[in-house]
Amino acid sequence: MEAANCSLRVKRPLLDPRFEGYKLSLEPLPCYQLELDAAVAEVKLRDDQYTLEHMHAFGMYNYLHCDAWYQDSVYYIDNLGRIMNLTVMLDTALGKPREVFRLPTDVTAYDNRLCASIHFTSPAWATLSDGTGRLYVIGTGDRGNSPEKWEIMFNEELGNPFIIIHSISLPDSEEHSVAVLLLRIEKEELDLKGSGFHVSLEWVTVSKKKEDGTKYEITKHHVLRGKSVPHYAAIEPSGNGLMIVSYKSFTAVSIDQSLEESMDEDRPEKTKGNLPVKGSSCALTYRHMYVWSSH
């Protein structure tokens, strides 16, 4: 098959001929201030982490985590390892922070760590990284109703520290599965001309064990490497591919040689817009946008 550039075309029935343009609102943006009994768990970059990619990924990190399923709720993680929930009750009022979960280990004891990150997978599931290299899959219950106890359904050490950038609950699967996209920046000893680091995207699928209906395990683990932090990266809603928008391309590691060849950024410029792809592994739909499939 071939992957060709796609042109974006104007859909004229959606255009409003009477539209006069957007007007800048002079209304002040809502601003909330709240006293906390414990500070937010902020992690500063070390001296050896001041590269462009480290700054892009971790240096300007938003420590407030929004819940896309319940948009009046935000979360943060404090220095005591607690996940705290805040509810916006009115336009200018915040509810009192309440603890919904506590990390089982003291992450402040680790010298090599990143900021903890959380992504809400579905209305009743969340994924969590404690910043030390451990991944948690958590059953939260219905977060929109009365608070329920969050329960760890899976946790495993996955090596170097990482942050979570996306996760979904996979549809149409016989057993419940959660797909998670992780980002880490790792040292590359052979890189003598660049920053000395590469960016790693890891696509991990955690599924319920068939022989044990209560335990979860990693059933798929794909790794892609590149030289720039993506502007955007997410798992497709179907769970069959990744969407990556990046300044530089990514190469699959230890999966399929044909996939590595199809995503080679050193390919001549005239062939970048129309790549021959073997086995429908990868499609380049824009010069810096990649759609990668596990099939």
State residue 269 phi and psi, 5-degree precision. Answer: -60, -35
Domain count, the chain: 1
Query: What is the gyration radius of the CA atoms in the chain, in angstroms?
Result: 21
In a domain, 257, yes or no: no
In a domain, 242, yes or no: no
In a domain, 289, yes or no: no
In a domain, 150, yes or no: yes
What per-residue confidence (pLDDT) applies to 22?
81
What per-residue confidence (pLDDT) applies to 282?
41
In a domain, 198, yes or no: yes
State the residue range of the domain holding 190. Answer: 33-229
Q: In the Cβ-directed half-sphere of 230, how many Cα atoms lie within 13 Å?
A: 26
Total Cβ atoms within 10 A of residue 34: 10
231: three-class secondary structure by DSSP: coil
C-alpha angle 111/229/287, rounded to 5°? 170
- For the chain, how are helix, strand and coil distributed in percent, rounded to 5? 10, 40, 50
What per-residue confidence (pLDDT) applies to 7?
63
**Segments in the chain below pLDDT 70:** 1-8, 90-92, 146, 172-173, 191-192, 194, 211-213, 254-295
In a domain, 84, yes or no: yes
In a domain, 112, yes or no: yes
Total Cβ atoms within 10 A of residue 114: 26
Q: Which two tokens stand for residue 42?
A: 């902020």
In a domain, 86, yes or no: yes
Q: Tell me the β-bridge partners of 77.
A: 83
This prediction's pTM: 0.76
Q: How many residues does the chain have?
A: 295
